[in-house]
Amino acid sequence: MLPPATEPKMIFRVFSFLYFLSRPLLKWLLHRFTNLCELQRICYGCPPGATRTKKVQMSLELSRRLPIKKLLHILNELVSNDVDETFLRREIQTRAVGTVLQVKKINPKVHIDFPRSFGSCAERIWGYKRLFFMVEKLRATQYDTEEPEHEAKLLLLWKLLVGDEMVLTGRITDQWQHIGFQGDDPSTDFRGMGVLGLDNLLFLVQNYNGTARHLLSHSHHPTHGYFFAIVGINLTSMAYHLLKSGSARTHFYNHPQHHLTVDTFHQFYCYLFYEFDRYWVECKPKNIMDFNHIQRRFEDNILKLLANDGCCFKMNLSVEDV
């Protein structure tokens, strides 16, 4: 007998196999009865945001039509290269909409709303992929002590978090442990996440300074404290992997800002940091050794929220600097 945990997985796999086997026939029947292609049915029948965009993306990726496959390849290549953002957005709109109208033989004069609806989905799909490309570049850029910009950002992080309360006596000093780094030289803590970890922390401190100082004070609790900077870098890793795996699509596909930027990712990170701190305090850990266990539970909770197609995270206004 199969263990209980494997039974739902097996049922899902069988269902998925049967669905993909019968999918061409189902599409043909629905097209025959509705006189609409699958993309039209999705754009007309699904609410905007993650629900519609995910289904459009799946339809495009499962398409057997050569022009559609070529479109995906071209746009995936474009978003993964250093090209002008205005040019990129125009290419996504014109190529995606133009190709689908031609392949599916859709008359835009008859189906007036379709180009706008589908174009919005295309912008979100490849905007997300573009965002990952930009975030990955930051993650792959290692912190360099010989790079003045990196050093300036690190010193600014200290200044904005600590202010005049404590004067930094040197670049290599155990004072960095006051804001949660592990040793005397914080540059070594950025190895895993590169300058992305630093940029995340700096964005939080610059844009939500009161909140950041509040979180830092929590990290100094004698019993339930944690390493502020190290936890922040761990949350950068969590945010990065949610983005990479596609789990974060729900949040970004529902985001009111259609044109995603690195700042949009930083906002996502700020939400995770604030909510993790709240969860950590609620859990009342015995010591820092509980961190891995609590972080896993926190990530599971975030994944459950992201499984809802209506999910879109926002910082609580009560803690924003407004």
Q: How confident is the model at residue 164 (pLDDT cuts 50, 70, 90)?
A: confident
Cα–Cα distances in angstroms (integers) from residue 320 to residues 136, 188, 247, 314, in the given order: 28, 31, 26, 10
CA dist 272 and 123 (Å) reads 25
Least confidently predicted of 7-11, 68-72, 219-223? 7-11
Give residues with Cβ within 8 angstroms of 48, minimum separation 6. Answer: 117, 120
Please report, rounded to a whole number, the percentage of residues in the chain having pLDDT higher than 70.
Answer: 87
- Measured N-to-C along each axis, helices 228-245 and 209-219 cross at an angle, to the nearest 10 degrees, of 120
Instruction: Give the pLDDT band (50/70/90) at residue 9.
Output: low
Residues composing the chain: 322
Per-residue burial over 141-152, b if 16 or more Cβ lie within 10 Å, else e, is bebeeeeeebee
State the pLDDT at residue 27.
Answer: 54
How much is the pLDDT for 26?
55
Q: Distance between CA 180 and CA 177 in Å, rounded?
A: 5
Poorest-confidence range of 68-77, 205-214, 262-271, 280-289? 280-289
Q: What is the pLDDT of residues 174-185, one digit of tens each?
A: 999 999 999 999
Tokens of 274: 């604030």
Confidence of residue 40 (pLDDT cuts 50, 70, 90): very high
In this prediction, residue 320 has a pLDDT band, given cuts at 50, 70 and 90, of very low
* 65 DSSP 8-state letter: -
pLDDT tens, residue by residue, 63-73 = 999 999 999 99
Q: 152 and 130 in contact (C-beta within 8 Å)?
A: no
pLDDT tier, 51 (very low <50, low <70, confident <90, very high otherwise): very high
Q: Is 41 left (phi over 0), alpha (psi -120 to 50) or beta?
A: alpha
Please report which confidence band the pLDDT of residue 11 belongs to, taking 50, 70 and 90 as the band edges. low
Q: pLDDT value at position 52?
A: 98
- Check whether 251 has a pLDDT greater than 70: yes
The tokens for 166 are: 């404590």
Which residue would you say has higher pLDDT here, 176 or 24?
A: 176
